[in-house]
A and B are shown apart, each in its own frame.
Chain A
C-alpha cells in the first residue's frame, strides 16, 4: 500500500535533477565562455560557479548520470585551455576557479595534468594555487604528481629561504609514497639549513613523513634530536610538536634540552608554548619528586591519629611519625623550580590554550601552596567565548574536587545567568556544588533557590540534584534542604516535582526515622505524579519504610494494584517490591493484594516482570516445596540498605591530564599519552647538564644555594672560573651579593626582548654553570662513584680528570684555594673543549659578541683631569721598562734588576715614543671596548700598555682611546657605577669634559684585577647615554717583568716545584725557527722579561749543552707580586718543552695554555 506514493514522490525528483543538470550544462558553458573572454575576478567566478552548476556534486557522485560526463569534460576543457595559455592572468583565473571548486568539495581531479604543468609558473600566486591543488590531489594521482617533484627539488636549492621553505612544505605535503627517500633527504638537509624558518619547516615536515611511512621513524628521530638542540624560538615549538607525534616516549631526548626549552618558552609563539608546556608536564612527572609527598603523608597520619583509639595503633602512629620526621625534608629540584618559574608569566597570555596549559602544569606539578595562583587566570577565561568557558569549566570542576580552597574566593564568578547556554549552566552548577561547604552553603542555597525558578527545565532538574548533593555532603543543612525540596513537591511543574522526589528518596535513606511525615506526604503525591521515575521512587520509599507508615502503605498498594496494568515497567517492578515487603511485614492485610499483583505480573508482557513475580512468589509465599531461602525472606527484603553516595561525575577525572581531550571526554582519546606517576626516588638530575665551554657565568640560584651549604670553596671558584672561555662579564657578579644576582635575573628578562639569541646563550650559560656546580658537588660527595651513567665516555673521563685535580687541590691550603679550584675548572674546561664539537672559534665569537653587552660595571674612584692624564702618560714613559722581548734589546744580564730599571729609565726618557711603538711588534694589541655602531658614534678601544701604573703599582695600566665619530660633540665622558668582585679596584681616568667631532683622545686607567682574568665591568657615560663596558685582561697582562739572573731564576725555580710547576710538551709552529721569534712570541703573549742565559760565566752549574737552547723568562704578578717563571727548551725536530713555575696555579695553567697556543702557531 505504501509503495506507490513513495515511487511517485521519487520520480519527479529524478526528473527534476535531470532538468537542472541539463540547464546547468548550458549555463556553465556560457559562464565559462564569458570567464575565458573577460577574465573575471575570483569572487564573480565563485558565484557564477555556484549558479552555473548547482547540481554538479550530484552527478559527480552519481555514476548513473554518466551521460553528463561529456559536458563536464567540455566545461573543464576550457579551464584546461586557460591553463595552457601563456597569459598569467588567464592561468590565475582558471586556478582561482579550480580552488573555488575544491573549496566546495567538488572533484576536479581530471584537471590534474593541466594543472601540474604550471607548477613551474613564474607568477607566485598561480604557483601557490597550484600547490594548493597538488597537495589536495597528488595522493590520488601519484604518477602524474611525480612530474612536479623536480621543480621542488630545484626549489630546495634556491638561495631564497622563502622558496626553500615552501618547496619543502609542498614536497612533504604531497602524500606519495614513492618519494619518501627524497623527502627524507630534503628534511635532513633542511634541518641544517642556515635559515631558522627553513629549519622550522623541516620540523613540520617530520610528522608528515612519519605518517606517510612509519618505517622512517629511526631516521626521523635523529633529525628531531638534531633540531631539538636548535636554539631559536622559531624552531622550538615545531620540533616539540614533531617529537610528540613521532616519538613521545623518547623522553631521554629532552634531558639535554630541558633547560633551554624552559628558558626559551616565553619567547616561543603561542601555539608552540602549548605543545611544549604539555610535553614538559609529562617530562617533569618522570624526572622530579612529588612536591606534595611529605604533606600527603602527614595528612594521612594526622587523620589516622584522629580516629585512632587503642594504644597499639598509637604506637604504630609514633613509629610512622618518626619515619616521617626521619624522612629527608623535600627539596625541590632546581630544574623543577625553573619550570614552574618560567611558565608562571604565561598565565597572563591572551591565548586561552596557553593559560590552560600552564594551569594544568601547576595543578599536576606544583606544591600545594602554589597551585592557587592559577585560579585567577582560569576565572578570567570565563569571560571568553562559550566554547572556551565550556572547556575551562570542565577542568575547573575536576580541580575543585581536589583543591576546593583554590576557587572559593571566586565563588560568585560561577553564579549563573539566565542567558547562559544550558551546558554552561550545568557545569557552573557542578562547580558551585563542589565548592559548597559549611560557611558558604547558605549563600549557595539562596542562589540555588533562584535557579529552581528558571524556565530552563533541564537546568532546574540539575539544580535540584545539586541541592541533594549539598545536603548529603553537608550534614548541617540536610534538614533545610529536605524541607525546601518537600516544598518543591507542590510545584506546578511535574518535572520539578519528579526530580525532587528522586532526590528526597535518596536523602531520606540516610535518616528515615525522623521523616515519616514526609513519607506520608509523598504517598499522597502518588495520585498526581505521572513521571515514572518519581512514582517508582515513592513506591520504593513506602515499601522500604512501611513500618513507619503502617496505615498508608497497604492503601497505596491497593491503589497501585488497581492501576498496575497501565504503569511503566519500572513502576511495575516497584509495585511488586512493595507488595512483597508488605506481605512480609503485614501479611494479614495484604496477603490477597499481593497474590493479586503477583498474578497480574505473571502475565505481563515484559519478561523481567514475569521473572520477578515468579521469583518473589517462590521466595515469600511459603509452600511445601519452597526452599531454605524462605525463612530468610524477611532478611533479604528488609535488609538495611546503605544510603547512596551522591558523587560528582568529575570525581577522579584528574587521572587524565587536565586540559586534554581525553579529560574532557572522560575517555582515552587516540594518541593520548598517560600522565606518569611521580617516581619513588628522583632519577639522576645530572642528565640535564649540558656541556658547553662557555659557562663562566653563574646563576643566582646556584649561588644562593652554594652559600647555604657554606662552601666558599665553590663560590670562590665561581669568581675565578673559566678564564679562557669566559670573556663574559657576568661571572663577576657570581660571588657577589645575592642582590646582584637578583638583578641579573631581571636583567636577563628585559634583555630577552632585545634579542632572542643573546638571552638564550646567556641563560644557557647560567644553567651550565649550575650544572657544573652540581656535578662538582656530586662528584665530591660520592667521590668514588663513577660520574653518572649518563653521557658520553668523554664526559665521564673529563669528570674523572677533574676529580684528580681536585684532590691535588685539596691538599693545598688557604690562599691559593680559590685559584686552585678555578684551575681545576680550567682543566675541566680543556677537556670539555675537546669533547665538545663546538670549535674554539665559535666560543671566541660568543665572547666577542658578549663583551660589549656585559652588564656588571665595576667600581672606581674618580680623579685626574684630562691634562693630568696626558702628563701621566709622559711620566709613565719615564719609568717605562721595555719588555725585554725583542731579541735586539736583550737586557744586560749582570746588573741587578733595580739598576737595570734605572738605566732603562735613563736611556729612554728622551725617546718620545708611543707605547705601541716601543712594545714588541704585535705585543700591544688594541681591543674594542665599544664599537662605534653600538656606541652611537662613540668608538672606544683599549690596550694594555704594559707600563707600571704610577699612582698604584698594584694596578694594571689600561690605555683607553676614545674617538668621536658622531656629528656632535660628546661631553662629560666618565666612568660610572663600577661593580667589582671584592678586592678589586679601579682607578678611573679623569672625566673628559668634551670630545670634539672627529677627535680622539687617549687616557690611562688602572685596574687591580687581583690576579684574575675576570672582566672588569663598568658603565661608560656621556652626557646623554650610558654604555656597558667590560675589560678583560689576557693572563699575560696580569704580570710585570721581573729581572732575575739565571742563578736567581734557578733558585726561585727550585722553590716552586711540585704542584707549582707545570710541564707541557709542544711542537713549535713552522715560523718559530729561531730564537728571535720564540722570544718575541713569548713576550707578546705575556708581559715577561727574558732572563739572560748562555752567558754562563756567573753560573755555577755547567751550561746546558749548546744543542738544547733554553729560554727563560721571568715576571711577577701585578697585584700580589708572585713570581712567574717560564722556561722554554727547544729540541730537535721542532719539539719543545715549556715549563711554567708559579705559586698561583691558575695563572700558571692559563699562561701555559696561552703560550702553547702562541708558540705552536
Chain B
C-alpha cells in the first residue's frame, strides 16, 4: 500500500524520508513540487497527484507536507486518514508536530513509523499501544538514557495488541483517579448581508481526559440524547448500547482522547450568539473606502462572549487601513491583506465598534465585491445546543473517581457575508 513517505516543509526542503518497501528515489517528489508551484496556496495542492509510475497522496498539516508514494490502487482516504494519524501521533509524542521537533526526535520518529506500518499496511496506530512499544520522550528520561544507555523501547508486547480492547494499555495506576469530559460545541454559520441566517448548524465533540486505574467500564448518559442527530464514536464505544439505550458505554483509553463527535439535528433552531452590523464601502473616486463594524450580543443565554475576534480578508487593492476601535486592538497586514480585530470580552452595555477609512491603490478600479467577515468567539460554561450530561457511572473498579464535565461553545466556521 503505502510505499514511502517524504516530509517536506513549506520552503520545499525534504527533511525526512522513510521507505517501507524498496527505496524510491526522492526525485519522485519533483512532481509534487511542480503541483505545489502551480497551486500558489499550500491549501490548493491536490491531495492526489498521478505521476507516470506512482501516485502521490499528500496532506498538509502544521506547515509540513506529508507526501506518500503509492504504486497501486488503494482507497485514497485510507492513506489520507493514516497520514493524519501519523501527524497526530507526532503531536501526541512531542507536544507539537513541527519540523524542529521531528528533526530533534528523528530516531523516535523512525521507530514510530516502523511500528505504524508494516510493508505499507497499518500495524499499530493506537496511541496507547505505541506508547507501550516506544516510550514518549521526556526530559528526565532522555537524561537518564544518555547516562545509562538504556533505551526508550518497550520490551514486551503491549497487551492491548492482543486483547479485544486494543486502545487501552494494561496495568494503569494512578493515585488520583479522575475523569474529565469537555463538551465543546462549534457553531458553523453563514449570515447574509442583512444578518439573516443562510445556514447554521452545531457540531460538537466530547473530549475526554481519563486517568483511571485498572480496567474501568464507564457509562455516560445525557439528559437529552434526542438532540443528537448524527454521531461518530471512538472505537471503544459500544455502538449497540447507544442504539438501544442512548447511553455511551465504554472502556476508555488511558489519557486524552476524543470520545465522540456529534451533530445537532437540523430541526433545532440554532441560536446565534451575536449580531454584526457592518458597512464596508469603496468609493469610485479618490481610491478610498469606508468601514464601520459594530458587534453586539444576540442570544447568549446570559453568558458572556469572550475571545471575540473579527477577521476580514480584504481585496488586493486595499493598501492600508486607518481605523478607530472603541474596544480591543486591530491590525492590518498589507502583505496578506488580512484585517484582524481582536475585541476580547463583549460588553453588552458598550458595544465595540470599529470605524475608519481604507486607502486603496490609486488608479485601480474599485473592488467589485465586499470581503466577508469571519468571526471567532468563545462562551464558557454553555453548550449552545442545550445538551447536558446527566451522569457518569463507573463499573469494574472499586475506587471512587473524581468526575467533571465542562461546557464550551465556540464559533466554528462562522462567516458574515457583506
Contact = CB atoms under 8 A, between A and B. Distances in A.
Interface stretch (B150-158, B168-176, B340-348): B150-158
A660 B75 contact: yes
A412 B76 contact: no
Given A380-B263, A415-B199, A204 B368 contact: no
Contacts of B233: 348-350
Interface stretch (B77-85, B289-297, B378-386): B77-85
Contacts of B84: 385, 387-388
A486 interface: no
Contact of A267 (B47, B58, B164, B266): B164
A351 B126 CA distance: 12
Contact of B149 (A89, A103, A412): A89
A103 B21 CA distance: 15
Max chain A CB contacts within 10 Å: which of B26, B146, B155, B244? B146
Contact of A348 (B114, B123, B157, B232): B232
A750 interface: yes
A661 interface: yes
Interface in B216-255: 229-235, 238-241, 243-244
Contacts of A353: 75, 77-78, 80-82
Given A385-B84, A454-B369, A348 B77 contact: no
Given A387-B59, A421-B44, A661-B73, A350 B104 contact: no
Interface stretch (A92-100, A303-311, A617-625, A1125-1133): A92-100
Interface string A763-796: 0000000000000000000000000000000000
Interface string B34-58: 0000000101101110100001001
Report the contact-size class of chain B (Cβ under 8 Å from the partner): 35 or more
Max chain B CB contacts within 10 Å: which of A241, A387, A662? A387
A278 interface: yes
A274 interface: yes
Main secondary structure of the interface of B (DSSP, over half): mixed
Max chain B CB contacts within 10 Å: which of A169, A385, A412, A665? A385
B140 interface: no
Interface string B108-124: 11110010001101110
B329 interface: no
Interface string A173-206: 1010000000000000000000111000100110
Interface stretch (B12-20, B177-185, B272-280, B403-411): B12-20
B246 to A, nearest CB: 13
Given A100-B106, A105-B26, A423-B44, A418 B415 contact: yes
Interface residues of A, number: 115
B315 interface: yes
Contacts of A201: 118
A794 B221 CA distance: 54
Given A103-B106, A162-B156, A450 B47 contact: no
B105 interface: yes
A205 B120 CA distance: 11
B355 interface: no
Contact of A99 (B71, B106, B123, B192): B106
A357 B26 CA distance: 31
Contacts of A87: 149
B365 interface: yes
B80 A385 contact: yes
A492 B73 contact: no
Contact of B151 (A125, A165, A385, A387): A125
B43 A238 contact: no
B81 A419 contact: no
B118 A197 contact: no
Interface in B174-205: 190, 192, 198-199, 201, 203
A40 interface: yes
Interface stretch (A42-50, A627-635, A880-888): A42-50
A42 B108 contact: yes
A211 B234 CA distance: 35
B131 interface: no
A756 B118 contact: no
A673 interface: yes
Nearest to A748: B240
A351 B18 CA distance: 24
Interface string A655-673: 0000111101101011111
Contacts of B199: 412-413, 415
A746 interface: yes
Question: Nearest 3 pairs between A and B by C-beta?
Answer: A89-B149, A125-B151, A671-B72
Interface of A: 39-43, 46-47, 50, 87-90, 92, 96, 99-100, 102-105, 123-126, 128-129, 131-132, 136, 139, 161-162, 165, 169, 172-173, 175, 195-197, 201, 204-205, 207-208, 211, 233-234, 238, 241, 266-267, 269-271, 274, 278, 345, 348-353, 355-357, 376-377, 379-380, 383, 385-388, 390-392, 409, 412-413, 415, 417-419, 421-423, 447, 450, 453-455, 491-493, 659-662, 664-665, 667, 669-673, 746, 749-750, 753, 755-756
Given A356-B77, A392-B77, A661-B75, 5 more contacts: A204-B123, A348-B239, A660-B76, A665-B48, A753-B164
Interface of B: 1, 14-19, 21-23, 26, 41, 43-44, 46-48, 50, 55, 58-61, 70-78, 80-82, 84, 103-111, 114, 118-119, 121-123, 125, 142, 145-146, 148-149, 151-153, 155-157, 161-162, 164, 166, 190, 192, 198-199, 201, 203, 229-235, 238-241, 243-244, 258, 261, 263, 266, 313, 315-316, 365, 367-372, 374, 413, 415, 417
25 contacts: A40-B146, A41-B142, A42-B107, A100-B107, A105-B17, A123-B151, A131-B114, A161-B157, A162-B157, A195-B162, A197-B162, A204-B118, A205-B119, A271-B121, A348-B231, A349-B233, A350-B233, A350-B258, A353-B77, A412-B198, A450-B417, A454-B369, A665-B55, A669-B55, A750-B240
